[in-house]
């Protein structure tokens, strides 16, 4: 492996990923305090923040909710008319009015309707409004406020937690609504009516009202906090010092292209579907890469590769290429194509299965400590992108067909098959107690650039 693994803070982990993983470790979603009888539907203006393609007009407002599945949703509320606010009417054409339920308030719960894959809890919520020269975030959400909820086991966020989650939101809002200052304002249940009247009437809050301003400096500080808390760098140093990477044992004719489903784990923004499978490899440059394999349809009925791409793209794919694990590890620049660990993942009911078969990169040379730290490091990243769930590593052997037969047929392995379970608590316990590496510190010349 090349010794020039540089800028680990800015090149391997992107900013959003680092902030998101901190939020997942430290902030739990809350259910609404109460509901209204006429509330039931999804907000008619529901948008994921990534779907926003139009800037807000001056004084235009949206409700938002950062859900516990990390969907940042926005919509329009049908209330506050007593303050002259008619956002729902202004958002839709008159020809669409008959399709709206004018009795529904379309409040924050309309952005957080529970389903089979989401429990309806919310991490942070409020309103946004485009003011002159900055985006105002007013943390009035009524139902999801954490004030006065200690009897429910719900506590207000610490200053550090608020700093990190607001930095994450600021990045998301800047991407959607333009690079500008983001200013957060708190409110309390006792003060909410007064603050809301000012907000909806487009009057300024008193200068005495505290606020938090987010630009690059504040966000950079939050990223440093989140990265230190993750212990990822300690894990990388340990792995670099104690675990030699491996090269592929063999190759097939016709291989050599990058996987068409190649995705670095830090760029993943959606969970896997039930029983969906992907190949993965933790490369020796510390990129955790995933993709889709083009094999095993005849042997096991696996059609994941075909199903991953629309038919309109099929003519652009090389159907003669297996797109196996080497398609995630093409040598480039200082990276030599070697790997620390590789296998498959599959979203099972209630947990993510990590199946340790990769043919070319399989290894059985790691001791218990090396295995524990390496797997906890990988599990932490899978949790950050695929959800806070148990991560289960299953042993496999590519020379024994019954393993693949069980995995691709979605059957359980034998009860005595070696298996290791990791949850959020055990992952952090492992990463926070890594033995100090004596040398070969992973270089970092710059912190994340915002």
Q: What is the pLDDT of residues 16-46, one digit of tens each?
A: 999 999 999 999 999 999 888 888 889 999 9
Same domain, 373 and 271: yes
Give pLDDT tens digits for 60-73: 999 999 999 999 99
Upper half-sphere CA count for residue 278 (Cβ side, 13 Å): 24
Q: Is residue 444 part of a domain?
A: no
Same domain, 264 and 135: no
97, two tokens:
């009015």
Q: Is residue 165 part of a domain?
A: yes
Give pLDDT tens digits for 309-362: 998 999 888 888 889 999 999 999 999 999 999 999 999 999 999 999 999 999
Same domain, 150 and 277: no
| pTM exceeding the 0.75 threshold for the entire prediction | yes
CA distance 341 to 249: 13
* Domain membership of residue 409 as a residue range: 245-431
Same domain, 337 and 196: no
Strands, sheet with 122-131, edge to edge from the N-terminal-most edge strand = 47-48, 72-75, 61-67, 122-131, 134-138, 181-185, 211-214
Q: Is residue 235 part of a domain?
A: no
Same domain, 253 and 210: no
Same domain, 180 and 259: no
Q: Is residue 24 part of a domain?
A: no
Q: Exposed/middle/buried for 384, CB within 10 Å: 0-12, 13-18, 19+?
A: buried
Q: Is residue 187 part of a domain?
A: yes
Pairing of strands 288-291, 263-264: antiparallel
Same domain, 281 and 138: no
The closest of 123, 172, 167, 120 to 145, measured between CA atoms, is 123
Mean pLDDT for each 10-residue chunk of the chain (450 residues)?
A: 37 84 96 86 95 96 97 94 91 94 93 89 98 97 90 94 98 96 95 95 94 95 94 94 94 86 93 95 97 90 88 88 92 95 97 96 96 98 95 95 94 93 97 77 47
The closest of 175, 252, 170 to 214, measured between CA atoms, is 170
Same domain, 45 and 94: yes
Q: Is residue 362 part of a domain?
A: yes
Same domain, 49 and 191: yes
Q: What is the pLDDT of residue 9?
A: 44
178 torsion bin: left (phi>0), alpha (psi -120 to 50), beta (else): left
Q: Is residue 171 part of a domain?
A: yes
Q: What is the pLDDT of residue 446?
A: 44
Q: Is residue 371 part of a domain?
A: yes
Quick one: which H or E segment has residue 405? helix 401-408
Q: What is the pLDDT of residue 194?
A: 95
Q: What is the pLDDT of residue 216?
A: 92
Number of domain units in the chain: 2
Same domain, 103 and 38: yes
Same domain, 194 and 252: no
- Single residue among 167, 198, 214 that ends a domain in this structure: 214
Same domain, 279 and 322: yes
């Amino acid at each position: 492996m090349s010794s020039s693994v540089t800028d680990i803070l800015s090149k391997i982990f992107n900013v959003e990923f680092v902030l998101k993983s901190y939020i997942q470790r430290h902030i739990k979603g809350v259910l609404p305090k109460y509901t209204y009888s006429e509330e039931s539907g999804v907000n008619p203006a529901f948008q994921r923040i990534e779907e926003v393609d139009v800037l807000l007009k001056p004084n235009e407002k949206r409700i938002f909710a950062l859900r516990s599945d990390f969907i940042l949703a926005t919509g329009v509320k049908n209330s506050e008319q007593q303050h002259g606010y008619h956002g729902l009417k202004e958002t839709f054409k008159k020809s669409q009015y008959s399709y709206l339920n004018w009795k529904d308030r379309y409040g924050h719960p309309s952005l957080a309707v529970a389903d089979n894959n989401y429990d309806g809890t919310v991490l942070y919520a409020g309103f946004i409004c485009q003011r002159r020269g900055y985006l105002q975030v007013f943390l009035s959400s009524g139902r999801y406020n954490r004030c006065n909820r200690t009897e429910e086991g719900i506590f207000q966020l610490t200053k550090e937690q608020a700093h990190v989650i607001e930095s994450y939101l600021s990045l998301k809002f800047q991407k959607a609504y333009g690079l500008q200052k983001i200013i957060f304002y708190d409110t309390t249940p006792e003060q909410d009516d007064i603050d809301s009247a000012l907000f909806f009437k487009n009057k300024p809050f008193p200068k005495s009202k505290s606020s938090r301003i987010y630009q690059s400096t504040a966000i950079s500080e939050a990223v440093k906090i989140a990265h230190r808390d993750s212990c990822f760098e300690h894990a990388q140093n340990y792995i670099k010092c104690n675990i030699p990477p491996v090269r592929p044992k063999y190759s097939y004719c016709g291989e050599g292209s990058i996987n068409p489903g190649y995705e670095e784990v830090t760029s993943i923004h959606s969970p896997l579907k039930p029983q969906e499978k992907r190949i993965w490899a933790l490369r020796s440059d510390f990129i955790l890469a995933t993709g889709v394999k083009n094999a095993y349809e005849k042997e096991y009925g696996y059609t994941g590769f075909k199903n991953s791409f629309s038919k309109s793209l099929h003519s652009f794919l090389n159907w003669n290429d297996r797109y196996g694990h080497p398609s995630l590890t093409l040598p480039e620049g200082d990276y030599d194509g070697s790997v620390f660990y590789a296998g498959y993942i599959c979203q099972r009911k209630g947990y993510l299965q990590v199946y340790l078969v990769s043919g070319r990169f399989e290894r059985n040379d790691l001791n218990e400590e090396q295995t524990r730290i390496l797997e906890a490091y990988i599990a932490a990243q899978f949790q950050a992108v695929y959800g806070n769930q148990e991560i289960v590593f299953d042993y496999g052997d590519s020379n024994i067909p019954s393993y693949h037969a069980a995995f691709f047929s979605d059957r359980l392995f034998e009860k005595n098959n070696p298996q290791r379970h990791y949850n959020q608590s055990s992952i952090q316990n492992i990463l926070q107690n890594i033995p100090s590496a004596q040398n070969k510190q992973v270089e970092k010349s710059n912190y994340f650039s915002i």
